[in-house]
């Protein structure tokens, strides 16, 4: 594992810019001069008066560090991200200023992959819908509709990174036919490579979106890709809402253009398109893929290790990949 090199330890303020799990919050306060920006009566005034004291920022996937905040911190040397996604921070801009960025990869891979498989089974076998059916008392007259078999189906994975690969490994146990699309074909997997998202969708019964968020993947699952998936196709998204053309997804779900979707992420969280709320063919989850005690503790520990090593040794543990 390579570490970014900032030779000297750092003496300065750690700026926490969002709420964080209690254990990470406490560790930051206990070991470093940490200021919570959200607790400042006038954050802008704080930044004007003390911005030059800040050497590190701790943030989370959905918050990131804005250009304005980065510009208000002339001595900033590191942005430590609680979460694997970091598209909310302009890494190129940070690196141009010599600011290193870390995230928390690997420690959440299992939970996100587990949830993806669970959501896939849920939406195809309509588990959540069946639970509501029983609770409503509809079983008395009976007649819950037949659903769709999971085992043996064709599954296309959009984005074969750590999480996409973990999902694929899990699905091998269901004897599915696996294909994938990434920017480049991998040479170490037995799965069929599709040279575009549309080709992937056209050859799949289920499209699983596991691609990183950000400008490079925005709207990658377009109306055209959804049409290729077709009226018997299912979609699972555990990545970022931005990867899908959300209005097109809503139209496909409402109009029967696809058979169903399991969604853990949305463009404007925590707001969910209202048209989806009444659909029994949609599984709606509140961005919980990494949301287990074990995984959030591990993410917090890794985020703290990054911050602590930067402050004491001048290097990060898990810097984000080079652009």
Binding residues for ligand 8YV, per CB under 6 A? 60-62, 82-85, 108, 287, 289-290, 299
Residue number with CB closer to ligand 8YV (51 or 105): 105
User: Catalytic: which of 49, 172, 269, 294?
Assistant: 269
End-to-end alpha carbon distance in the chain: 16
CB of 85 or CB of 273, closer to ligand 8YV: 85
- The backbone torsions φ and ψ at residue 57, rounded to the nearest 5 degrees and listed phi first, read -120, 140
Using the 8-state DSSP alphabet, how is residue 38 labeled? G
Active site includes 240? yes
Please say which residue, 82 or 191, places its beta carbon nearer to ligand 8YV: 82
Taking the complex as a whole, the smallest distance from the CB of residue 174 to ligand 8YV amounts, in Å, to 24
Catalytic residue among 50, 75, 95, 287: 287
State the nearest-atom distance from the C-beta of 114 to ligand 8YV, in Å. Answer: 13
Q: 83 or 156, CB closer to ligand 8YV?
A: 83
- Active-site annotation holds for 62: no
- Minimum CB separation of residue 157 from ligand 8YV in Å reads 17
CB of 53 to ligand 8YV, least distance (A): 26
Q: How many CA atoms lie within 13 A of 129 on its CB side?
A: 22
Q: How far is the CB of 83 from ligand 8YV (least distance, A)?
A: 3
Determine phi and psi for 221, rounding to 5 degrees. -90, 95
Q: Using H for helix, E for strand and C for coil, what is the string for 16-37? A: ECCCCCHHHHHHHHHHCCEEEH
The nearer residue to ligand 8YV, 61 or 263, going by C-beta atoms, is: 61
61 or 65: CB nearest ligand 8YV:
61
The closest alpha carbon to 58, from 40, 74, 43, 76, belongs to 76
Cα–Cα dist 19/120, whole Å: 31
The catalytic residue among 60, 240, 308, 309 is: 240
| 262/235 Cα distance (integer angstroms) | 6
In whole angstroms, give the CA distance from residue 71 to residue 66. 9
Beta strand ranges found along the chain (DSSP E):
13-16, 34-36, 54-60, 78-82, 100-102, 154-158, 177-181, 192-193, 206-209, 234-237, 260-263, 282-284
Is residue 254 within 8 A of residue 231, CB to CB? The reply is no
Instruction: From 179, 166, 164, 167, select the one nearest 212 (Cα to Cα).
Output: 164
Q: Least distance to ligand 8YV from the beta carbon of 287, Å?
A: 6
Active site residues: 240, 269, 287
């Amino acid at each position: 594992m390579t570490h970014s090199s900032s030779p000297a330890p750092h003496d300065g303020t750690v700026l926490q810019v969002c709420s964080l799990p209690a254990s990470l919050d406490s560790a930051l306060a206990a070991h470093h001069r940490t200021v919570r920006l959200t607790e400042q009566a006038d954050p802008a005034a704080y930044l004007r008066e003390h911005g030059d004291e800040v050497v590190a920022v701790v943030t989370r996937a959905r918050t990131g560090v804005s250009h304005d905040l980065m510009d208000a911190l002339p001595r900033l040397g590191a942005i430590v991200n609680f979460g694997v996604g970091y598209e909310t921070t302009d890494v190129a801009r940070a690196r141009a200023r010599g600011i290193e960025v870390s995230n928390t990869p690997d420690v959440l891979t299992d939970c996100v992959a587990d949830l993806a498989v669970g959501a896939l089974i849920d939406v195809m076998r309509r588990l959540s819908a069946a639970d509501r059916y029983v609770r409503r008392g509809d079983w008395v007259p009976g007649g819950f509709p037949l659903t769709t078999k999971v085992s043996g189906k064709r599954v296309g994975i959009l984005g074969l990174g750590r999480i996409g690969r973990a999902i694929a490994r899990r699905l091998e146990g269901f004897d599915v036919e696996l294909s994938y699309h990434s920017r480049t074909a991998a040479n170490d997997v037995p799965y069929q490579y599709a040279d575009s998202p549309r080709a992937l969708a056209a050859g799949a019964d289920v499209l699983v979106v596991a691609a990183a968020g950000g400008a490079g993947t925005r709207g990658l699952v377009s109306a055209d890709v959804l049409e290729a998936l077709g009226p018997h196709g299912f979609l699972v998204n555990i990545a970022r809402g931005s990867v899908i053309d959300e209005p097109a997804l809503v139209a496909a779900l409402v109009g029967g253009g696809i058979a169903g979707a399991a969604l853990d992420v949305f463009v404007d969280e925590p707001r969910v398109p209202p048209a989806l709320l009444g659909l029994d063919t949609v599984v709606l989850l509140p961005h919980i893929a990494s949301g287990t005690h074990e995984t959030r503790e591990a993410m917090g520990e890794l985020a703290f290790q990054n911050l602590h090593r930067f402050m004491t040794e001048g290097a990060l543990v898990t810097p984000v990949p080079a652009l």
